[in-house]
Structure 1
Amino acid sequence: MWKNTEVTHRLGLTVPIVQGPFGGGISSVDLVVAVCESGGLGSFGVHHLDGNGIREVASAIRARTARPFALNLWIPLGDADDPQVDDAAFDRSAALLQPYCDELGLAPPARPARFAPRYAEQIEAVLDVRPAVLSFVFGIPTADILERCRALGIVTLGAATTVAEAVALEQAGVDMVVATGFEAGGHRVSFLRQPEDSITGTFALVPQVADAVRIPVIAAGGIADGRGIAAALALGAQGVQIGTAFLACVESNAAPVHREMLFSPAARETGLTTVFSGRLARGIRNRLMDELQPHAAQLPPYPVQNWLTSAVKKAAAAQGRPDLMSLWCGQAAPLLAQRDARALMATLVEETTRVTRRLDGR
């Protein structure tokens, strides 16, 4: 039976379906609870929150479900925790965004004291609230953090875009690995090589990772229905992580105009770009992506560029302007059919059961 895998057994799930964590405020407690109560693993991206914010999120989730859930953090990559960007570079990037600020009625951005919360504060908060799962991207926690997770009974789940990254995660003592194909929406979470050099597709990546490591493999990227789940399991995965299909549900905190765009013909045209955050990410092609792309090499890295564009993206979402937002979207978006998370979970289970039974019959 496809539901009985090492992932379901280890995490206490009914089905081996993980909701992809969304960063930047588009995760929601409603979505996590809906997925958890439907037997999957709900995930909340907390990399934009400080320690108190993380504690509040965990408390809100636990007030509504007793099921296991995951909190997701970004491991500091390079100097991301304390970016070294001089005022001149900051001003140059701000100037590029000024026409869009004017168009949306925004004041020019002023340099903040910090561009993002400190990782040390975040990880201590996650360990303090003890979620069932700590998932993470852009690297590997230090050995002492992984040891503390083991002592606290927290399962660790790291993302890999290459076989080498998956092996590195296993060798460090991480419990499970998410093999992330280039079809996935949102950020490319590479950490051993440049993301532009780590764009293997899911169908090629998953079986190679499954052959290379002993820990459970969860497939991600281009999976949006039961056919994709069945295919991933056939390739050696013990579970799947699904992002875009859950992002499109009303329970997510994505702006209504973003969710509508995921169901539109525009979702067939996605692109990889660094212009929104300073890191390579996949989203629906739009005006802001196209107009900033010629300047991509001169833009500051994450989190500086992410902070600079945040006000523009937020105002555009509030004003219903998809042309000036980051519209994260995977390549499987044309397969989307459900707008309710519980209905989506039920459909995924029904479809996967039907597909696996048909294949078993053959």
Structure 2
Amino acid sequence: MSWIEENYEKAALGGAVAILAGVAALSFIGKDDVSAKALSFDRNDDPSVEALAEVSSVLESRSAPAQIREKIVSGREVDLFVGQALYVKEGQSTAVDLYDSENVHQGIANAWWRKYGIDPGYVNSADRDYDKDGFTNREEFVAKTNPADSSAYPNPIAKLEPQGVEVFKMQMRWSIFNADQITLYYQDTKKRRFNERVSVGDAFFARDEEGIKGRFTLVGKVEDQAGPGGRVQDGYEIKDNTPRYKGEDREKFTVWRRGDKPGGFTEVQDLSVEFRLKALDKDNESFIVSEFETFSLPYDQNATERPYRVESIDPRGDQYIITVSYSEEGVKTSKEFIVSK
């Protein structure tokens, strides 16, 4: 905008002041010199008057709507507001056309960027996360989800990461009390230690301990079987009544007369894994899932639908191999995770 446009009122005022000054001068001169009455002001040489006329013309032209001519490119009608090519491939001067040029990013069709209105002009556009849901544009392209909608995203299991495995150890051994009962001795990693007299067919332990009361049932005696180290000995079969163990090999186990742990104990373990979901704004939250337990993603302990299941937590050397099963497009599949001990 010019100085004249910005100071239109000032310019007009200046012109008026100049005219008044001239009239005042005429009146003053007229008092002392009669010949002054012959002076004429038919021509006004004040430049502000001409400037005002130009300002008025400019303002009038500015009020008219802009006329943008149509341009046809490859049969498409395009409105151009810039004269500089928006995208130019490195080392070339020809502008990139998202309709006709080769794919801007390898493996992702140019039409995909146009469809969702995402800028492909960054070197790392494929690795950016447009809708901030934790999944990159390329991951959304592969999964055929909407990269501009945070409520539409690939299977979250792709962003699931194990943080560690928790091991809860329980050790038991027994001794004969009488023909119908045995005494079971118990200790665990929570430093609970006690013993209890148990009859075949009864649930135990009767103690009001969290996770212990009534958890096990004494099924019956096992005689002259190969126990730890191949040693032939007697034992008692025990059933674990924890719901998630039902139907699993872990549901039943044998407590031998002489187990392989110090003091002759036989050991059983509860395994669980701590997970963290690196997406969907859950990066700072972790949750724990036990072996054979089902869960949802994002994790919700009250969820009615739990499509994921920890099938196994298998110790191998200095690592744990965690297998999680789930269904994808109606087909049951699984994914393995590795975490150090």
* TM-score normalised per structure 2: 0.21
The structure with higher relative contact order (CA 8 Å, sep 6+) is 1
Structure with bigger helix share is 1
